Structure 1
Amino acid sequence: MVNKQISPASADHGAPQPAHDPAPLVDGALLLEGHYAGKMDMAADSDTVGRYLNSHRGWFTRCAHPMQVEHISDHGYGLVVGRFSVLGYEVEPKVGLYLSPLDHQVYRIDTIPVPGYVPPGYDVDFHAVMRLQDGPEATPPATDLTQVDWDLSLAVKIHMPRLLNSVPRSLLKSSGDRLLNQVVRQVSKRLTRKVQEDFHHSHNLPLPESYRGHHFWSNWGR
C-alpha cells in the first residue's frame, strides 16, 4: 500500500487534471538507464584470470565478434553493437570503451570518446566493474576456481528526431527500455559464454560446471 499526501491545492477532485507524461526529457533528450549484474566462473586462480583480462588485445576482439571492434588506443576500443529499430527509428550505436588494467582484483570498463566520431542522435554512458574473488573448491580435474562478479551501469540519452515528436514519450521510453534490456541480456550472455570458452581453451583447462548456466540480474530504470 502506498500512502500519498495530498496538498490542499490539489484536494479538488472535481477539477480536471492535466495530462502527465511520465518520461521527462533530460537536457532535451529521452533518458534510458539501467543497472545489471551477473557472474561467471573461471577454472584457474585469480592471478591467471587477471593476466588474461589484462591481455585484452586478444580476447576482446575475439569474444566481441560479430560486433565490429576498432582499436583506438592501447586500452581503448570502438565497438559497433549492431543495428536496432525503435518505432521505425533506426540506430547503429557505436561506443568507445576503455579497459583499465586490473587493480586490486577489480577490472573496469568505462566509456571514452571515439576519435573523429560524433554519435548521431544519442549519447552512451557505460560503466562496468568486474571483481575477481576465490570461488568455492573446484570440481576435479580443475584445481582452482575464480568467481568473476560484474556490475554494469548504463545510461543512454536519445535526442529524438522530429518524426517522433508526435509519439508519447512514455511509449518511446517503454519501447526503448524493452529493446535495450533485451540487447544487454543477449550481449552479456554471448560475451560471458565466449569469454569463458576463450579463456579455458587458451589455457587448456576444462570448463567449469557453471558454464551452461548464466546468472544475470537487471534493475532497469530504477
Structure 2
Amino acid sequence: MPPPSDGSSNLGVEVENPVLASENQDPASPTPQRTPDNPANPEIHFHSHFVGVMAMYGETNTIADYLDIHRDWFCRCAQPMPVELVDTNSYALSLGRFGALGHALEPKICLELLPSDAQGVYRIVTVPMADYDQQGYEVDFNANLHLVETPIDPDLGTQLSLLHMTEAQWVLDLKVTIHLPRFLQALPLKLIEQTGDRVLQQIVGQISHRLTRKVQEDFHGSRQLPLPPAV
C-alpha cells in the first residue's frame, strides 16, 4: 500500500503503476492483457492477486478496536506518502513518481477503509476522487482483511501478560489499466507487459512491507510491547 523515501527510488525500473498493498505475490499473476477497443489510445490491463499477514500481540477484540480508529493511525503510518483525509473513512494517497521506458506518472488513489461486516471482515476499496484527472491510468483496489486469534507461547505470554496474539490476514485483488501514450505503442507489447509486471510487484511489495511494519510499530509502541518477528 514512492521518491518520497519509501524506497521506490531504488526500484531499478520506475513505472506507470499506482498501488498500495501486499507482500506475497500469487505466482499465477499478474496477467496483463491488451484491449484493442480504441486503436488510437490502446490500453493494457494488469490483474494481480496478493496475500499478506500482519502479526499483532493481543486478543482479536483489542486489534479490532485499534483498526476501527484508523483516523488515529493511518495518516501517520502511511508516511512518507502524503495522505489527505477525504471523509470519515476515505484517504487520498500520493504514491510518488514512477516511470519506465521513457514514460512517467505520479499516481494518486483514494482508498476507503470500510468498517468490519457481520463476519468481521474489513474491506479496503478504491473510490473516485472529485476534480482529479488520473492522467493515463486507472486502479481498482479491492482488499479483504480478517482477524485470526491464536494462543501465544506460554513463556512469552507470561512475559507480556497476554494469552493470545492475532494475525491480520488479508487478500488483495488489484487491477491496473494503463492508457499507452503514442510513443510507447511502437514498443513490443511483451516488453511493456514484462516491465509492468516487474514494477507492479516491486511497488506493491515495498509499500506493503513498509506500511505493515509501521502499523505494527505504532500499535505495539503505544502499548509498550515488543514487535513480533517479521513474517
Shorter-chain TM range is 0.7 to 0.9
TM-score for both structures, normalised by structure 2: 0.78
Task: Tell me which residue corresponds to 1:180.
Answer: 200
Q: Distance in 2 between matches of 1:189 and 1:26?
A: 36
Does 1:130 find its partner at 2:154? no
Map 1:69-80 to 2 at 5 A: 69-80=83-94
Contact 1:131–1:148 under 8 Å retained in 2:
yes
Number of aligned positions between the proteins:
190
Radius of gyration: which is bigger? 1
Task: Tell me which residue corresponds to 1:166.
Answer: 186
Task: Tell me which residue corresponds to 1:112.
Answer: 127
Moved over 4 A (4+): none
**Deviation, structure 1 residue 26:** 6.4
Does 1:25 find its partner at 2:35? yes
Task: Tell me which residue corresponds to 1:197.
Answer: 217
Task: Tell me which residue corresponds to 2:57.
Answer: 43
Contact 2:49–2:173 under 8 Å retained in 1:
yes
Contact 2:33–2:46 under 8 Å retained in 1:
no
Task: Tell me which residue corresponds to 1:6.
Answer: none
The runs of 5 or more residues in structure 1 that have no matched partner are: 1-21, 215-222
Q: Residue deviations 1:121-154, cap 9 Å, x none?
A: 0000001111101123243323120111111111
Contact 2:110–2:129 under 8 Å retained in 1:
yes
Does 1:151 find its partner at 2:171? yes
The runs of 5 or more residues in structure 2 that have no matched partner are: 1-31
Q: Distance in 2 between matches of 1:114 and 1:202?
A: 33
Aligned amino acid, residue 203 of structure 1: R
For the residue of structure 2 that corresponds to 1:24, the secondary structure is: strand
**Deviation, structure 1 residue 70:** 1.0
Contact 1:59–1:195 under 8 Å retained in 2:
yes
